[in-house]
Structure 1
Amino acid sequence: MKTTGNTIFMTGGTSGIGLELARRFRDLGNTVIISGRRKDLLDQIATEDNIEGLVLDVADPASIATAFTDVTARHDVNVLITMAGIMQTENLQDPTHLATSEATIDINLLGTIRTITAFLPYLQQQTDPAIITVSSGLAFVPLALTPTYNATKAAIHSYTQSLRLQLAGTPVQVIELVPPAVQTNLLNGAAPDPTWMPLADFTDESIALLQQNPDLEEVLVDRVHFLRAAERENRYEAVVAALNSAH
């Protein structure tokens, strides 16, 4: 994927990794359009960061269809980033966790699949098209506190691999962004743990990796290899224990 001269549409992007990546891509000479459920927040970002936004709820198929029609009528989008997601703790012994589980699957997994399905035929007609999905280091080693989040990110990893295989021989590049724990308020909307990777460091390294290797399939900052390679390097049980003893 080239890192300049694109027109990028991002689901999510009003905070955390999404917003910071949107700023970095904008600064590299890309047109960036973000989305989210809160129009007031999108308007604020448009004013403060000069990044266009549109209202989108990825849990609503009709909202995705409307957003697709709107953004492609005004922009020649060639890069789609499926950033929208939620991360919440769950107690699987409490039946009320099911509402959280269903919402997490609807937004993180089905939202990604719905959005890619809506945009893919259009992207296949564009120049230098790319799709960036967002999984997590927790796709490879589970954090017990966030079981459905882990499961959706494991599913995103697998779905991305299948998408890449099915699109082999087409112009569409498929890239998976695999964050470690990053200092954002994604987890339950709470303040981040200071031991997590600083957001600026994560975005700096991720952009650098894309610039250094335009053909890469997974964006893996150094800090996520602890999780990503745990099973391959026969460290899985130790990493599971270490990860969950800290929480």
Structure 2
Amino acid sequence: MDLTSRTALIVGGTSGIGLGLARRLAAAGSTVVIGGRDTDRPGLDTFPTVTVDVTDPASVARARDEVLAQHAELDLVVTMSGVMMMEDLRDPAHFAQTEAAIAVNLLGTIRVIDAFTPHLVARGSGDIVTVSSGIGFLPFPPMPGYGASKAGVHAYTEALRAQLDGTGVHVTELIPPAVATAGQEKVNPAALPLDGFLDEVMGLLGETPTPAEIVVAAARRLRWAERDGSYAELLAQRSRALTLLPGRAS
């Protein structure tokens, strides 16, 4: 994938991995528009921004119209919006958190894709990058809604790629491991430093042809656990983190 002269929209790019990727793409020579609910955050002043709530269809439609009116050459859409919450499945009140994870991570991804696919198909070229997670392939039991939503993003991405085959629009799935942003380093001391993660991601995205899946080295054991026969052992290890839930400490 050419990363030097793109016009990109990163929805969910106001912080963390999304903002890091925006900075890398801009440094490579691309024009990057950042979309999110809070576009007044520090560090965004060098980017054009658009306010968008991916849980609101009208907000997504307004954002699409605004972006395309100002950047008709848009040729790269990255769906980065996501929320990650712990849930205790013994408590029925967890459903609100599950619902939020599905609404943002899965339905929000689909809304953004649906909004911009006609534009990209009409161009006859372009790229869509979805963001799932290693947790979508090997669950982290304290975060069941997050894992389910990201598994859904993976399945949807596979279908999207098949349906857009031949249109000139390419679909790539980014599968991060735990990355040291938004407090992840507190939950998981082994979380990958953001700069190291982005170094690998940019290298893989820049390959020709672009891989269908961007899997950095630290994410491979999660992505391929079932194939490699390590799934049950790793899941048992990750289940120990259930002690992080209130009242569940051993």
With normalisation by structure 1, the TM-score equals 0.93
Q: Deviations over 1:125-155 (max 9, x none)?
A: 2264000000000111101100010000000
Name which of structure 1's ranges 107-116 and 191-200 shifts more when overlaid on structure 2: 191-200
1:46 positional shift: 3.3
- In structure 2, C-alpha distance between the alignment counterparts of 1:37 and 1:204, rounded to whole Å: 27
Aligned to 1:95: 92
Secondary structure, aligned partner of 1:232? helix
Q: After TM superposition, list the pairs within 5 Å mapping 1:121-140 onto structure 2.
A: 121-126=118-123, 128-140=125-137
Decide which of 153, 163, 166 is 2:163's aligned counterpart. Answer: 166
Q: After TM superposition, list the pairs within 5 Å mapping 1:1-247 onto structure 2.
A: 1-41=1-41, 44-47=42-45, 50-75=46-71, 76-126=73-123, 128-185=125-182, 191=186, 193-246=188-241
Gaps of 5+ in 2: 243-250
1:2 positional shift: 1.4
Aligned to 2:248: none
Gaps of 5+ in 1: none
Contact 2:124 2:167 in 1 (8 A): no
Secondary structure, aligned partner of 1:154? helix
Secondary structure, aligned partner of 2:225? coil
| Paired amino acid for 1:207 | M
- In structure 2, C-alpha distance between the alignment counterparts of 1:114 and 1:120, rounded to whole Å: 10
With normalisation by structure 2, the TM-score equals 0.92
- In structure 1, C-alpha distance between the alignment counterparts of 2:29 and 2:126, rounded to whole Å: 16
Gap change, CA 1:184 and 1:46, over 3 Å in 2: closer
Aligned to 2:247: none
| Paired amino acid for 1:46 | L
- Corresponding residue pairs, total: 241
- In structure 2, C-alpha distance between the alignment counterparts of 1:59 and 1:7, rounded to whole Å: 24
| Paired amino acid for 2:23 | R
Gap change, CA 1:186 and 1:130, over 3 Å in 2: farther
Contact 1:184 1:192 in 2 (8 A): no
1:170 positional shift: 1.3
Give me the CA root mean square deviation: 1.5
| Paired amino acid for 2:9 | F
| Paired amino acid for 2:217 | D
Q: Deviations over 1:38-96 (max 9, x none)?
A: 2421xx3332xx11111110000000000000000000211000000100000011111
